[in-house]
Chains A and B, each alone.
Chain A
Amino acid sequence: MDDTMSSRPLCRHCGAPLSSRASSTGDCPRCLVASALAAPSEDAAPADFGDYAFGDEIGRGGMGVVYRARQCSLDREVALKLLPFELLESEDFLERFEREARLMARLTHPGIARVFEAGISRRGQPFLALELVAGDPVTTFLRTHPLPLRGRLELFLQICEAVQHAHQRGIIHRDLKPSNVLALAGEGGPSIKVIDFGLARPAGDHAADAALWRSQSAVVGTPLYMSPEQAGGGDVDTRTDVYSLGVLLCEMLVGAAPLADRSFSSGSREEIARALRETAARPPSELLTQGSPSAAPALRVAEVRGDLDAICLRAMSKDPAARYATVATMADDIRRHLAHEPVSAVPLTAHYRLGKYARRHRILLSVASLVILGFAGAAVFSAVQARTARLQRDRAERVKAFLIDVLGAPAPGADGREVRVIDVLAKARERAEHDLRTDPIVLAEVRLTLGTTYYNLSLYDEAEPLLRSALAETRRLTGDRSIATAEALKAMGEQCNWTSRQDEATKLLTESIVIYRTHLPESTAALGRALQSRASVEIHSSRPLGAIPLLEESVRLAERAGGPGCVDSLVSMGDLATSLDKLGRTNEARVIFDKVIPGMRANPALLENLSAMLSSLSDLLAESGDLAAAERALVESVAQRRILYGDETTPVATALGKLAWTRYQQGKYQGAEIDARAGVTIQRKLLPPVAREYFFTLRPLAFTLLKLGRTMEAEPVFVELVEVTRRHMAADAVIVKQAEQGLAEARAER
């Protein structure tokens, strides 16, 4: 405009004359209208987001538009989500937005996409800078990467862990659905990231909530994953996420959501809420039988019917109080199902429990077949007893670790022979309990054998009454000084030691040793083993000093009975070396390790002991500074454990973590990262979050990443490491402090 003749001052922005009217003096009507026009657009105006350089649009939905962007100051790729201006209409939006942003900043979990920043653009538009996540919606992923049932459930457990992590920090997702759960194939198997955590979603029945509902339903078109109480606009708590997880699990199993055949497209909010309340969800197995076109053909109806139906339906109960109270309890049920244990969602009927028992024991027995075959094949109890006793030694800990691993490993196929074995064991127990004709001394021996067998299978509850009654009966029938009574005392003492009743264990084992001493030389080997068990109590009670004389005597007795290098002597020597090492007497320990390990290598029956010895030796070597030798020992330990337990087991993961730490200490960062990640990947599949074992893998991974300057990756690992050390190693201040310092360093360098 040519305003040369105007006497009105001109706008310094557009050159138009400023208003001289009463209410707008000094305003520029042109600019006022131009900016009023510009504001409502939800699309990016990149200049408004100073630190972020915009890339392509990634997605668009009721809750805003998402762009790929680069955060210039930190030189990192992010997903920038621009939230709708509509949100600002609710007066307390900003307060809630900032409060939730603070909460979200504390949410660091490998299964949750990070929120880097929650900000307001220059135009007042709220936005989130989020971790950029590759991957497909989990249901899409499962179509392109069909997984067997176990794989699907393990993937689902990852989702549960992420959601539970958030719940523990007071954050509800409120919109769990496949497009918010992304899955990504990786070296160590698929992993998930939950995105779009509860941020900036209206909490109650707000005006803005209503507005959002409009836009959401227009875009999403289905409230399939929304709990009835949330659809109705009522208050929600974490159980709304439990509901959504139930729907998600169903879809991950059978390829369709339970209410997928219903059309919600035309309904009002009230109608949808009513439909969700009144439509009974169908169990997943039923969806499978009806052959939904998108159903995953990989799964069989029989795999899903029963537990998984019950778990899904319980999670999707219309009444929040009938659902799982927490995501963790839902995850526990999935884990129990995977371990063939009774799940809480299914009412315990005798038939159900027996079915579970048989399935579970099929696995247990397959790993402990040596024990079982020894028992099942024989009516000759003395032979069984001898073999069982030899197996027993102080291997309870390893047996237990072993069995836990096996439970987490892929289920073996149905094997009639193994099922028969457990049937024999159960039948034998029943007979031992009710048989009135057999000689009571034989019966006591049977109970002792059965109890010891259950003990070796980690079935302490089953073992306890058998061992107790065996001890009482043997004492009554053979007297307080008999070898049989000493045997029973020793078995009961071991049971007490393993079930954390060290005082009672000490009393029982000491009595047993006293009796054995009166039967020398006949009881030489037995006394040696009893001393070994007694030493084990000292080790369990963190008194390695007390264990040393017991073990020294045990070794002497074992060598006297079985010759140098016999199995019993090697086991006791191994414990002796470990105890010496714990006391810092590394030179003495080293000498013994050097004797024990070759002996164990030569004896296939001692593979388990060997891998444990190698691990202890590596600790010793590392402490004494011989990192190369420590690394060699661990490489062997990993290999042995793979043979013993299988590739994807926690002992292998722990050994991999230790190997990674040794490599890290030698500056071999690449190898360290690979080993640590392999270990973590295994643990994620088998262990609950924040389990103690994570320490071994997270520590090398975190410090390696830090060393490599990848602080963004290192930080969440450190966060988890700190959590693990604080929970399990609070007593070891050095370790906790080391983790905390690492975290501070990662944050400082970020």
Chain B
Amino acid sequence: MPPDSPAAFPETRWSLVLRAQTSAVPDERARLALDELCANYWYPLYAFARRREIPPAEAEDLTQGFFALLVSRSLLDKADRERGRLRSFLIGVFKLHIADETRREHRLRRGGGHALVSFEHAQAEEWFVAETADGAAPEQLFDRDWAETVVDHAMRALEEECAQKGKGPLFARLREFLSWEHAEPEVAAAARDLGITEGALRVAVHRLRHNFRQQLQAQVAQTVTTPDELQAELDHLFRTLLRE
């Protein structure tokens, strides 16, 4: 899945954040970008902490405190080598953060005055409990959580895109076709439900898949700064999910 236009790689949330870090003037756009990134990717970090056998409440505090430091920019100059990609950066710096905090045996309380990400504790714990603990390394599990988060956001964006085009019902009926090839009768049934021909339905499914691929790419693009990184990050995502 090559990026669409390698020549002009647009500014991404992550590149905004990184650029703002070297500037003396606080940048509102960069702050918003970072907030959004945090909002999107807190769960993999939380789950990572939980797998270190940190209890739920402390894991939450740890994650919130991490974001607070991130937002106050005091973590951003750490782990310079890793900061090209958000995922590698976060996990690298988060590991250091856990180590620091554990050594101090002291948890930062949330916020430091900043409005932090909305943290649905109960839901996070629910997801975490549902997760596997199949003996894989925590870093691998983090990557998988991350990939699933990307996929989830891509689906949300696709759903919104369809709703905007007035194709909400089409999306709702066809979303299951995105993941799996369906047998003739199911195709026929869906076509009947939507009042279109089977050929038109297949074309619609194809388009939906195409748009999903673009959304996936767009999501990942927000966490990198160059086309090469985008490609590498996409490859990593696929490898993570398709492993075995």
Q: Which residue on chain A has the smallest CB distance to residue B1?
A: A37
Residues of B8-58 contacting chain A, CB below 8 A: none
- Cβ distance B162 to chain A, nearest Cβ, rounded Å: 12
- A125–B210 Cα gap in the complex (Å)? 12
- A69–B152 Cα gap in the complex (Å)? 40
Q: Which residues of B contact A27 (CB under 8 A)?
A: 151, 155, 175, 178-179
- A93–B216 Cα gap in the complex (Å)? 25
Residue-wise interface mask of A (1-19) relative to B, using a CB-CB cutoff of 8 A (1 in contact, 0 not): 1111111100101001101
**Residues of A within 8 A of B (CB-CB), count:** 45
- A120–B180 Cα gap in the complex (Å)? 17
User: A6 touches which one: B132, B152, B203, B244 (CB < 8 A)?
Assistant: B132
**Residues of B within 8 A of A (CB-CB), count:** 45
User: A2 touches which one: B135, B151, B205 (CB < 8 A)?
Assistant: B135
Residue-wise interface mask of B (175-205) relative to A, using a CB-CB cutoff of 8 A (1 in contact, 0 not): 1001111000001000000000011101111
Q: Which residues of A contact B216 (CB under 8 A)?
A: 33, 36
Q: Which residue on chain A has the smallest CB distance to residue B200?
A: A94
Number of A-B residue pairs at CB separation under 8 A:
136
Residue among B129, B156, B199 with most chain A CB within 10 A: B199
Q: Is A28 an interface residue (CB 8 A)?
A: yes
Asked if residues A1 and B132 are in contact (CB atoms below 8 Å), the reply is yes
- Cβ distance A565 to chain B, nearest Cβ, rounded Å: 75
Q: Is A594 an interface residue (CB 8 A)?
A: no
Residue among B132, B151, B153, B179 with most chain A CB within 10 A: B179
Q: Is B110 an interface residue (CB 8 A)?
A: no
Q: Which residue on chain A has the smallest CB distance to residue B150?
A: A29
Residues of B187-242 contacting chain A, CB below 8 A: 187, 198-200, 202-207, 209-210, 212-213, 216, 237-238, 241-242
Q: Is A521 an interface residue (CB 8 A)?
A: no
Asked if residues A122 and B178 are in contact (CB atoms below 8 Å), the reply is no
- Cβ distance A98 to chain B, nearest Cβ, rounded Å: 7
Asked if residues A20 and B127 are in contact (CB atoms below 8 Å), the reply is yes
Asked if residues A31 and B147 are in contact (CB atoms below 8 Å), the reply is no
User: B149 touches which one: A21, A32, A119 (CB < 8 A)?
Assistant: A21
- Cβ distance B155 to chain A, nearest Cβ, rounded Å: 4
User: B155 touches which one: A2, A16, A24 (CB < 8 A)?
Assistant: A24
- Cβ distance A684 to chain B, nearest Cβ, rounded Å: 37
Q: Which residue on chain A has the smallest CB distance to residue B145?
A: A21
Residues of B126-155 contacting chain A, CB below 8 A: 126-127, 129-135, 147-149, 151-153, 155
Asked if residues A6 and B149 are in contact (CB atoms below 8 Å), the reply is no
Q: Which residues of B contact A123 (CB under 8 A)?
A: 181, 202, 206
Q: Is B60 an interface residue (CB 8 A)?
A: no
Q: Which residues of B contact A126 (CB under 8 A)?
A: 203
Residues of B149-179 contacting chain A, CB below 8 A: 149, 151-153, 155-156, 159, 175, 178-179
Q: Is A35 an interface residue (CB 8 A)?
A: yes
The main secondary structure of chain B at its interface with chain A is helix
Asked if residues A1 and B129 are in contact (CB atoms below 8 Å), the reply is no
Q: Which residue on chain B has the smallest CB distance to residue A87?
A: B203
Residue among B1, B149, B241 with most chain A CB within 10 A: B241
Asked if residues A88 and B206 are in contact (CB atoms below 8 Å), the reply is yes
Asked if residues A120 and B238 are in contact (CB atoms below 8 Å), the reply is no
Asked if residues B179 and A7 are in contact (CB atoms below 8 Å), the reply is no
Asked if residues B147 and A88 are in contact (CB atoms below 8 Å), the reply is no
Q: Which residue on chain B has the smallest CB distance to residue A95?
A: B200
- A23–B153 Cα gap in the complex (Å)? 7
A35-B179, A122-B181, A123-B206 given as contacts; is B212 within 8 A of A8 (CB)? no
- A36–B180 Cα gap in the complex (Å)? 10
Residues of A251-276 contacting chain B, CB below 8 A: none
Q: Is A34 an interface residue (CB 8 A)?
A: yes
- Cβ distance B88 to chain A, nearest Cβ, rounded Å: 20
Q: Is A30 an interface residue (CB 8 A)?
A: yes
- Cβ distance B183 to chain A, nearest Cβ, rounded Å: 9
Asked if residues B178 and A32 are in contact (CB atoms below 8 Å), the reply is yes
Q: Is A22 an interface residue (CB 8 A)?
A: yes
Q: Which residues of A contact B129 (CB under 8 A)?
A: 7
Q: Which residues of A contact B241 (CB under 8 A)?
A: 16, 29-30, 33-34
Asked if residues B237 and A5 are in contact (CB atoms below 8 Å), the reply is no
Asked if residues A39 and B213 are in contact (CB atoms below 8 Å), the reply is yes
- Cβ distance B148 to chain A, nearest Cβ, rounded Å: 5
Asked if residues A120 and B199 are in contact (CB atoms below 8 Å), the reply is yes
- A731–B156 Cα gap in the complex (Å)? 69
A1-B134, A35-B179, A94-B200 given as contacts; is B152 within 8 A of A24 (CB)? yes
A29-B147, A33-B237 given as contacts; is B156 within 8 A of A22 (CB)? yes
- A75–B86 Cα gap in the complex (Å)? 57
- A11–B179 Cα gap in the complex (Å)? 10
Q: Which residue on chain B has the smallest CB distance to residue A126?
A: B203
Q: Which residue on chain A has the smallest CB distance to residue B198?
A: A120
Q: Is A179 an interface residue (CB 8 A)?
A: no
Asked if residues A21 and B244 are in contact (CB atoms below 8 Å), the reply is no
Q: Which residues of A contact B132 (CB under 8 A)?
A: 1-3, 5-6, 8, 17
Asked if residues B203 and A88 are in contact (CB atoms below 8 Å), the reply is yes
Q: Which residues of B contact A88 (CB under 8 A)?
A: 203, 206-207, 210
Q: Which residues of A contact B181 (CB under 8 A)?
A: 35, 122-123
User: B134 touches which one: A5, A89, A94, A120 (CB < 8 A)?
Assistant: A5
Asked if residues A32 and B203 are in contact (CB atoms below 8 Å), the reply is no
- Cβ distance B6 to chain A, nearest Cβ, rounded Å: 15
Q: Is A124 an interface residue (CB 8 A)?
A: yes
Asked if residues B202 and A121 are in contact (CB atoms below 8 Å), the reply is yes
Asked if residues B155 and A23 are in contact (CB atoms below 8 Å), the reply is yes
- Cβ distance B159 to chain A, nearest Cβ, rounded Å: 6
- A94–B187 Cα gap in the complex (Å)? 17
Q: Which residues of B contact A120 (CB under 8 A)?
A: 198-200, 202-203
Residue-wise interface mask of A (120-158) relative to B, using a CB-CB cutoff of 8 A (1 in contact, 0 not): 111111100000000000000000000000000000000
Asked if residues B212 and A32 are in contact (CB atoms below 8 Å), the reply is yes
- A464–B187 Cα gap in the complex (Å)? 74
- A31–B179 Cα gap in the complex (Å)? 5
Q: Which residues of B contact A1 (CB under 8 A)?
A: 132, 134, 243-244
Q: Which residues of B contact A94 (CB under 8 A)?
A: 199-200, 203
- A20–B131 Cα gap in the complex (Å)? 9
Q: Which residues of A contact B153 (CB under 8 A)?
A: 23
- Cβ distance A101 to chain B, nearest Cβ, rounded Å: 10
Asked if residues A20 and B130 are in contact (CB atoms below 8 Å), the reply is yes
Question: Can you report 30 A-B residue pairs in the complex whose CB atoms are below 8 A from each other?
Answer: A1-B132, A2-B132, A2-B134, A3-B132, A5-B134, A6-B131, A11-B179, A19-B148, A20-B126, A23-B156, A24-B156, A27-B151, A27-B178, A29-B148, A32-B178, A32-B212, A33-B237, A33-B238, A33-B241, A34-B242, A36-B1, A36-B216, A40-B213, A85-B210, A88-B206, A94-B199, A119-B199, A124-B202, A124-B203, A125-B206
Q: Given contact pairs A13-B180, A35-B179, enumerate 7 new A-B contacts (beta carbons under 8 Å).
A: A4-B134, A8-B130, A32-B155, A36-B216, A39-B210, A94-B200, A120-B202
Interface residues of B (CB under 8 A from A): 1, 126-127, 129-135, 147-149, 151-153, 155-156, 159, 175, 178-181, 187, 198-200, 202-207, 209-210, 212-213, 216, 237-238, 241-244
The 6 lowest CB-CB distance pairs between A and B, nearest first, are A124-B206, A23-B156, A120-B199, A21-B152, A31-B179, A124-B202
Interface residues of A (CB under 8 A from B): 1-8, 11, 13, 16-17, 19-24, 27-37, 39-40, 85, 88-89, 93-94, 98, 119-126
